[in-house]
Structure 1
Amino acid sequence: MSDQLSGTGVSPGIAVGPVVQMGLPIGELPEPTARGDAQLETQRANRALDEVARDLERRQERATGTAAEVLFAQSMMARDPVLLDAVAAEAATGRPAPHAVNAAIRGFREQLVAAGGYMAERAADLDDLRNRCIARLLHLPMPGVPDRDDPFVLVAGDLAPADTVDLDPALVVALVTERGGATSHTAIIAKAMGLPAVVTCPGITAVREETRVIVDGSTGLVTLDPADDQVAAAQRRAAARAELLESSSGPGRTLDGQRVELLLNLGSTSEADAADVDAEGVGLLRTEFLFLDRTTEPTVDEQVEAYARLFAAFGGRKVVVRTLDVGADKPLPFVEPGPGDNPALGLRGWRLGERNPGLLERQLDAIAAAAAGSQCDTWVMAPMIATVEEAAAFTDRAHAAGHATAGVMVEVPSLALRAGELMRVVDFVSIGTNDLSQYTFAADRLVGELGDLLDPWQPALLELVARTAQAGVAAHVPVGVCGEAASDPYLALVLAGVGCSSLSMARGSLPQVRVSLAGVTVQRCRDLAQIALAAPDARTARAKTAAELG
């Protein structure tokens, strides 16, 4: 029997291939043996930082959604005058360019780590920036995905957005990381690309290069050096699954005909080609793409034009638009963020309204104007709502702006706990399981070490989802899920079982969720929900549900 490693399966599917390790980051630099010329070394460092910034900008152009936002932030870091001044100051002490960059970035990183919270991601991005710059200065292999001509399983400690922009699914057949969680960037990218993926897999980075493995993204098992008959069996299962997914089409329904809408998560109007995907509409249109990378707020006319393009692509289908969700973690020069050192708990989303009068109203007017000229069934919702009073205030404003269907996101536990009262003031609810997880468990979802707490199978999280969904069922108010939980084919059954009427996800996850729903009755979904809710922890909930499904 071949050895196996066990992790958390975050993107289903089966793949076979040789292990290829991610290009390693640059280690600690040895002490310099000679002093450098300050002016020359500063110029070398600046040139390298500029080259890295240009490379990140090129990658940003090919990326979408969160990955594009992070790459933009990284490129801005590389061009930050404060960082350039710090590098010059280090070079003035006689440090060669690589050491000057290393020391300057280390200083900034220490500040971000000390700040805690959402700054953890920025610290990781600085590490990546440091590695890329020093690799250029020392003419070393660039950290990241190796160039290969044959298919392989990519193995890494973890993956950053810059690492994944150029992944070719024809070559990278699966992803396995030692760290990360169910809402990590690795999980999100794998689902979007339809790649099997396992995270939190101890020991995987110690596996020899070129070792043949079987990766099962459903069970979280990685089989090392499998025998030929094991490989053949895995390939048969993969082929059967591919055939089943290929034949999947139409609306989401359980075996006995219960409708569960299957919708898309979109991050920009450039993703309008997703209109060709077999989905029932858009369950989450993130509107930040219109506001980021600008020095001034987009005009109402500019917003109308952008929304109208996407609405035209989805004519006749539902499109749920989330109003602007920015704050101190995604600052905009024309939005007053207010005080607060912890962006996750500060003035974000809906809470920015009082400090930025008219910002929400202008966006609602633009969405309404674009919707009026389209065939879309357009719904609007607000993020970061914490009380029933806030929910009522938003729906009143949306209705006044001409929106027939207005709702809110449930991302804060306080709102889920008041779900019965909430249903009296909204037309629909969308549960954002990613943020709801981090607020429920007081765990930053960008910190990989907390991945177990942020697993969407956590029974405490599922209780909040069930409480909200069941309140919706009782009040005849639609309740959907637009977090990463919706894209898990097994967890989708649990969500349907507690009463969720729609599931919104990346396009790559739609076929497998559709197939999963079509194979069970709604009563079977309810039974699976009870099993998951009664489990003591996330791992047990997932394992028992999978075992029940065979």
Structure 2
Amino acid sequence: MGTTLTGVPVSPGRAAGVVVTMPAPVPEPPEATVSEADVDAAVERLRAATAAVRERLETLAAGATGTAADVLAVTAAMAADPTLASDAERRVRDGLHAPERAAWDAANAIAAQLEPLGPPLSERARDVRDVRDRIVAELTGVRPPGVPSPGHPFVLVAEDLAPADTATLDPAVVVAVVTSGGGPTSHTAILARALGIPAVVAVRGAEDLAEGETVVVDGGAGRVLRDPSADEVEAATNAVRVEREFDGHGRTADGHRVELLANVADPEAAQAAVAAHAEGVGLFRTEFCFLGRDTEPSVAEQVAAYRGVLGAFGGRKVVVRTLDAGADKPLPFVTADDEPNPALGVRGLRTAAAHPEVLDRQLEAIAAAAAAESADVWVMAPMVATTHEARSFVDACARHGLSRAGAMVEVPAAALRSRWIFEHAAFGSIGTNDLTQYAMAADRMLGDLAALSTTWQPAVLELVRATCEGAAQHGRPVGVCGEAAADAVLAPVLVGLGVRSLSMTPRALADVAAVLAEVSFARCRELAALALAEPDADAARATVRRELADILDALAL
């Protein structure tokens, strides 16, 4: 009888394989110094190493698409961070530290500042340390961080994965991922889902898994089986993830329409969404043309960038989110770098208070791109918290001829006051990642808090219901564009709460559609009531999985 370890299910599917653990991290360099005569040469070595790391990450980002490209671009931007570079150089010049030691200490100082700030900014501490290790490896000639390549398929086990490592996973080689840390909305979870790799995070006992032992991973149930029998290994090996196709029409078994849309971050991701037959785009992240710049892109540059996505969805709905700067996406032309708690600071729509011209130019660009293409363009603002903010944004959109203006519901205040928000907003889109972290006060990167950091929390489901009920009073549609939309088991619950569209990574569309097609709308409402009646997230998830067991088994989910 094997031993079962349990964790948080984040990416469905079953797989069996031998354990391969992430290699030991790059060792901390000694407290070495350089002579005054060698300072200039040491600084040049530091600059060259930093540039090499940045170029490598940028090359990886250029070859990736969608979420992976976005994550790699953020990590590359960390490598180019002038704060890190200038502090490291100062340590070489003023303290005569060896360049590898200077890079190590400068990165640690930045990470220490980020960690107490809460998500999403605290998540950037992992990126900073990843960049640190890569720079030190470049300077010292040791093996840089990265996923092992044992020459055969394997189950990757780690405390957690740096975003840059997760973004480069090959599903043909890494058959499953198991981590002792992280949560359901961590980068590891998001990217594993996007790649279709079964994954379980926050697994208690994962650190005891030994290199070379065989395990069976059930990403849908959140279980890792040690010492499995030959039959259990064979069953998991044969349970090849079913490659379903979405027919482009989301609906329940009795024909209740549920729009199934895709989240996209750039034109390449839009093409992947088209290939997956997405009905449209429920979240178009526009940050891709702002990130990594010291100045705002021109209106013409923005128009060209937006048309690359709108052009892929002629005649179909595309929901464009205006710039979501701040917190983990600081931009020098709209955000300050000295906020004591950026996660609760000037981010999203709030940046328009001090820089209304940036929002105005973006709306001008969106309107021009919409006029040049045939997509049905809707526009929404992130981080709306008050009725005044919703009304001001709708008015700003109207001045540019954008009639479909909505609000993202990420702040509990907006959910609780949705009746008044939707007097003005034409639609709503629930960002479950932020809504969950703000409602539960839980850092999504901490494995110890993973049970809190999930939309399955009944308190979060209550906020979803409140949002939909407030919107329904004005006949406004509400969708979900957070990671919860990709959970095929949660999908019927969200529909039962009143959600009318789900926007997700394209890979999840077929699974979500398949589950919805097996349940009636009335059954969705029953499942929602059952989930709300449970005391916690684990019980809610277990109850719904039990109610859907026959369907999930038949679909191998």
Shared topology, TM-score over 0.5? yes
Structure 1 residue 328: Cα displacement: 5.0
Q: Is contact 1:117–1:342 with CA below 8 Å preserved after alignment? A: no
Structure 2 counterparts to residues 167-246 of structure 1, below 5 A: 167-236=169-238, 238-239=239-240, 242=242, 245-246=243-244
* Correspondence for 1:83 among 77, 83, 87: 87
Q: Is contact 1:53–1:79 with CA below 8 Å preserved after alignment? A: no
Secondary structure of 1:253 counterpart? coil
State how far apart, in whole Å, the 2-side matches of 1:147 and 1:105 are. Answer: 28
Greater alpha carbon shift after TM alignment, 433-442 vs 192-201: 433-442
Relative to 1, partners in 2 of residues 1:312 and 1:61: Cα closer, same or farther, differing over 3 Å? same
State how far apart, in whole Å, the 2-side matches of 1:345 and 1:108 are. Answer: 19
Matched to 2:79, the amino acid is: S
Structure 2 counterparts to residues 196-345 of structure 1, below 5 A: 196-236=198-238, 238-239=239-240, 242=242, 245-274=243-272, 275-335=274-334, 337=336, 340-345=339-344
Secondary structure of 1:493 counterpart? helix
Structure 1 residue 503: Cα displacement: 0.2
Structure 2 counterparts to residues 113-512 of structure 1, below 5 A: 113=115, 118-236=120-238, 238-239=239-240, 242=242, 245-274=243-272, 275-335=274-334, 337=336, 340-512=339-511
Structure 1 residue 119: Cα displacement: 4.2
Q: Runs of 5+ in structure 2 lacking a partner?
A: 550-557
Q: Is contact 1:177–1:198 with CA below 8 Å preserved after alignment? A: yes
Q: Is contact 2:252–2:258 with CA below 8 Å preserved after alignment? A: yes
Q: Is contact 1:384–1:412 with CA below 8 Å preserved after alignment? A: yes
Structure 1 residue 105: Cα displacement: 3.2
Relative to 1, partners in 2 of residues 1:317 and 1:116: Cα closer, same or farther, differing over 3 Å? closer
State how far apart, in whole Å, the 2-side matches of 1:359 and 1:422 are. Answer: 23
Q: Runs of 5+ in structure 1 lacking a partner?
A: none
Partner in structure 1 of residue 57 of structure 2: 56
State how far apart, in whole Å, the 1-side matches of 2:199 and 2:546 are. Answer: 19
Relative to 1, partners in 2 of residues 1:255 and 1:166: Cα closer, same or farther, differing over 3 Å? same
State how far apart, in whole Å, the 2-side matches of 1:130 and 1:142 are. Answer: 10
Structure 1 residue 303: Cα displacement: 1.7
State how far apart, in whole Å, the 2-side matches of 1:313 and 1:459 are. Answer: 38
Q: Is contact 1:77–1:83 with CA below 8 Å preserved after alignment? A: no
Structure 1 residue 112: Cα displacement: 3.6
Relative to 1, partners in 2 of residues 1:79 and 1:60: Cα closer, same or farther, differing over 3 Å? farther
Q: Is contact 1:52–1:132 with CA below 8 Å preserved after alignment? A: yes
Structure 1 residue 142: Cα displacement: 2.2
Secondary structure of 1:358 counterpart? helix
Matched to 1:309, the amino acid is: G
Matched to 1:26, the amino acid is: V
Q: TM-score, normalised by structure 1?
A: 0.92
Matched to 1:169, the amino acid is: P
Q: Is contact 1:15–1:214 with CA below 8 Å preserved after alignment? A: yes
Relative to 1, partners in 2 of residues 1:542 and 1:470: Cα closer, same or farther, differing over 3 Å? same
Structure 1 residue 230: Cα displacement: 1.0
State how far apart, in whole Å, the 2-side matches of 1:33 and 1:71 are. Answer: 28
State how far apart, in whole Å, the 1-side matches of 2:12 and 2:256 are. Answer: 24
Is 1:5 aligned to 2:5, yes or no? yes
State how far apart, in whole Å, the 2-side matches of 1:328 and 1:468 are. Answer: 24
Relative to 1, partners in 2 of residues 1:41 and 1:367: Cα closer, same or farther, differing over 3 Å? closer
Partner in structure 2 of residue 529 of structure 1: 528
Relative to 1, partners in 2 of residues 1:285 and 1:116: Cα closer, same or farther, differing over 3 Å? closer
Secondary structure of 2:489 counterpart? helix
After superposition, give the CA deviation of every residue in 1:227-259 in whole Å (9 maximum; x if it has no partner): 1111222234x24x51xx425423111111111
Matched to 1:73, the amino acid is: A
State how far apart, in whole Å, the 1-side matches of 2:82 and 2:336 are. Answer: 23
Structure 1 residue 54: Cα displacement: 2.5
* Correspondence for 2:75 among 53, 71, 75: 71
After superposition, give the CA deviation of every residue in 1:437-493 in whole Å (9 maximum; x if it has no partner): 121122343555432221111110000001111333343211100001110011111
State how far apart, in whole Å, the 2-side matches of 1:34 and 1:352 are. Answer: 44
Question: Between the two proteins, what is the percent identity of the paired residues?
Answer: 49
After superposition, give the CA deviation of every residue in 1:276-323 in whole Å (9 maximum; x if it has no partner): 221100000011112122232222222222222221111121100011
Alignment RMSD: 2.4
State how far apart, in whole Å, the 2-side matches of 1:424 and 1:511 are. Answer: 34
Q: Is contact 1:121–1:447 with CA below 8 Å preserved after alignment? A: no
State how far apart, in whole Å, the 2-side matches of 1:535 and 1:412 are. Answer: 23
After superposition, give the CA deviation of every residue in 1:7-33 in whole Å (9 maximum; x if it has no partner): 111111111211111122124456669
Greater alpha carbon shift after TM alignment, 7-16 vs 26-35: 26-35
State how far apart, in whole Å, the 2-side matches of 1:115 and 1:318 are. Answer: 36
State how far apart, in whole Å, the 2-side matches of 1:391 and 1:108 are. Answer: 35
Secondary structure of 1:9 counterpart? strand
Q: Is contact 1:70–1:161 with CA below 8 Å preserved after alignment? A: no
Partner in structure 2 of residue 26 of structure 1: 26
Q: Is contact 1:338–1:347 with CA below 8 Å preserved after alignment? A: no
After superposition, give the CA deviation of every residue in 1:414-441 in whole Å (9 maximum; x if it has no partner): 1111122222222111011111112112
Matched to 1:279, the amino acid is: A
Q: Is contact 2:121–2:343 with CA below 8 Å preserved after alignment? A: no
State how far apart, in whole Å, the 2-side matches of 1:44 and 1:304 are. Answer: 40
Greater alpha carbon shift after TM alignment, 51-60 vs 209-218: 51-60
Alignment length, in residue pairs?
544
Relative to 1, partners in 2 of residues 1:204 and 1:408: Cα closer, same or farther, differing over 3 Å? same
Q: Is contact 1:45–1:87 with CA below 8 Å preserved after alignment? A: no
Q: TM-score, normalised by structure 2?
A: 0.91
Partner in structure 1 of residue 552 of structure 2: none
Structure 1 residue 34: Cα displacement: 11
Relative to 1, partners in 2 of residues 1:431 and 1:47: Cα closer, same or farther, differing over 3 Å? same
Secondary structure of 2:429 counterpart? strand
Matched to 2:478, the amino acid is: V
After superposition, give the CA deviation of every residue in 1:339-371 in whole Å (9 maximum; x if it has no partner): 732112111121111211322222112212221
Matched to 1:281, the amino acid is: G
